[in-house]
């Protein structure tokens, strides 16, 4: 077949137009395709957001305790919905819930033995106080809670106890024992916060709070990175005129926190009572004690320690190295222990600097 130049030109032009149309179709999605793409993206985003939402019923691994001073045993707690009426058996436990944005969930708090953290004081004032001391089961149950939480060794049928876990559970009241109170560590604190985040469906608040605590821990460690280890002994403030020493063998949570300052327990491994003679022989660098509402006169106790003739050979006495922590910050088993550790670290550095200048 013979092709003229005109025929060839028309054919080439037609082919070019077809190619352009094909490219245009390939690069432009139809409205339906755009809708499908947007919907898929939205669904993916929503799915990602929902991964951190609590699905009820929620099963939490926790504990029961077999009577006063008894053995801790695993026991699950099942939450059918977000708790709406919560009793905290200690001040520090209530403050932790405030930090998670749960003030409006609390119907009772007890054991106000320390100073309230300033940044939660206004919220804390809104919580009904069941007792300034440790609270009994009758007052706790009278608040009609659906959850009782806090220090594990306060879950007992005693005047100072909120009732046993099994007893409260039998009344359809869920329980949550802080694991910081059971062979605890700072990791136990983070775990408690994460579980509370799940229980109350406030995971984002829990994660943010935990990260802030970990940042503080890192800063404390960095502040003493170039410091040597020091030893300490804990003095129980029984009276202003006596010296009662604790070996702190079971106080793993407090010991873990003190370790951030490179403080080592002088009586690590010692079982039973510690005598004054043992204290003098061990010669710790620091003496620690805690002040609480109703405690003996702490200033008088310290004055007596410094003046005691039997203690004059001790480094802690000669160098004026006695430090006082707030009860809630040290024995509350909450995040407030970092407040106490930070304050102690600052005071130790200030006093150390003063001693260096005087030499």
Sequential DSSP letters for 214-272 = HHHHHHHHHHTTTSPPEEEEEEE-S-TT--EEE--TT-HHHHHHHGGGTEEETTTT--S
Tell me the C-alpha distance between 1 and 8, whole Å.
Answer: 12
Q: Which are the contacts of 288, defined by CB distance < 8 A and separation ≥ 6?
A: 232, 233, 234, 235, 258, 322, 323, 324, 325, 344
Hey, what's the torsion of the CAs at 87, 342, 186, 227, to 10 degrees? Answer: -170
Q: Which two tokens stand for residue 28?
A: 């432009």
Tell me the C-alpha distance between 331 and 137, whole Å.
Answer: 22
Q: What is the DSSP letter of 173?
A: -
Write down the pLDDT at residue 293. Answer: 86
Write down the pLDDT at residue 171. Answer: 98
> pTM here?
0.83
Are 300 and 237 contacting, i.e. CB atoms less than 8 angstroms apart? no
Question: What pLDDT tens digit does each residue of the chain (359 aa) get?
Answer: 433 333 434 344 343 344 334 444 444 444 444 444 444 443 433 333 445 899 999 999 999 997 666 789 999 999 999 999 999 999 999 999 999 999 999 999 999 999 999 999 999 999 999 999 999 999 999 999 999 999 999 999 989 999 999 999 999 999 999 999 999 999 999 999 999 999 999 999 999 999 999 999 999 999 999 999 999 999 999 999 999 999 999 999 999 999 999 999 999 999 888 999 999 999 999 999 999 888 899 999 999 999 999 999 999 999 999 999 999 999 999 999 999 999 999 999 866 655 554 44
- How many CB atoms within 10 Å of residue 276? 14
C-alpha distances (whole Å) from 131 to each of 87, 93, 152, 188, 271 are 11, 14, 18, 27, 34
Q: Which helix (H) or strand (E) holds 79?
A: strand 72-79
Write down the pLDDT at residue 356. Answer: 54
Tell me the C-alpha distance between 98 and 301, whole Å.
Answer: 34
Are 91 and 114 contacting, i.e. CB atoms less than 8 angstroms apart? yes
């Amino acid at each position: 077949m013979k092709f003229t130049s005109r025929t060839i030109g028309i054919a080439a032009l037609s082919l070019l137009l077809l190619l352009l149309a094909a490219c245009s179709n390939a690069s432009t999605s139809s409205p339906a395709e755009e809708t499908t793409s947007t919907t898929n993206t939205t669904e993916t985003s929503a799915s990602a957001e929902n991964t951190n939402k609590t699905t009820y019923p929620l099963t939490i691994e926790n504990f029961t305790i077999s009577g006063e001073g008894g053995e801790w045993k695993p026991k699950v707690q099942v939450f059918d919905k977000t708790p709406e009426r919560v009793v905290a058996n200690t001040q520090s436990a209530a403050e932790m819930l405030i930090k998670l944005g749960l003030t409006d969930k609390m119907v009772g708090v007890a054991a106000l033995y320390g100073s309230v953290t300033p940044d939660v004081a206004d919220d804390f004032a809104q919580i009904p106080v069941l007792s300034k001391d440790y609270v009994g089961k009758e007052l706790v149950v009278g608040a009609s809670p659906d959850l009782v939480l806090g220090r594990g060794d306060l879950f007992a049928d005693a005047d100072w106890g909120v009732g046993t876990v099994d007893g409260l559970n039998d009344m359809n009241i869920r329980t949550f024992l802080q694991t910081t109170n059971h062979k605890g560590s700072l990791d136990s604190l983070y775990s408690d916060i994460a579980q509370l985040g799940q229980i109350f469906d406030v995971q984002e608040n829990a994660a943010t709070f935990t990260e802030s605590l970990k940042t503080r821990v890192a800063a404390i460690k960095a502040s003493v990175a170039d410091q040597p280890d020091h030893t300490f002994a804990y003095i129980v403030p029984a009276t202003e005129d006596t010296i009662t020493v604790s070996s702190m063998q079971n106080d793993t949570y407090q010991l873990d926190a003190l370790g951030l300052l490179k403080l080592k327990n002088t009586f690590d491994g010692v079982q039973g009572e510690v005598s004054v003679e043992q204290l003098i022989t061990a010669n710790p660098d620091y003496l620690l004690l805690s002040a609480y509402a109703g405690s003996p006169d702490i200033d008088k106790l310290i004055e007596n320690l410094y003046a005691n003739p039997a203690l004059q050979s001790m480094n802690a006495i000669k160098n004026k190295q006695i430090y006082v922590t707030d009860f809630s910050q040290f024995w509350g088993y909450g995040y407030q222990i970092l407040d106490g550790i930070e304050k102690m670290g600052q005071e130790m550095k200030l006093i150390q600097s003063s001693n260096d200048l005087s030499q």
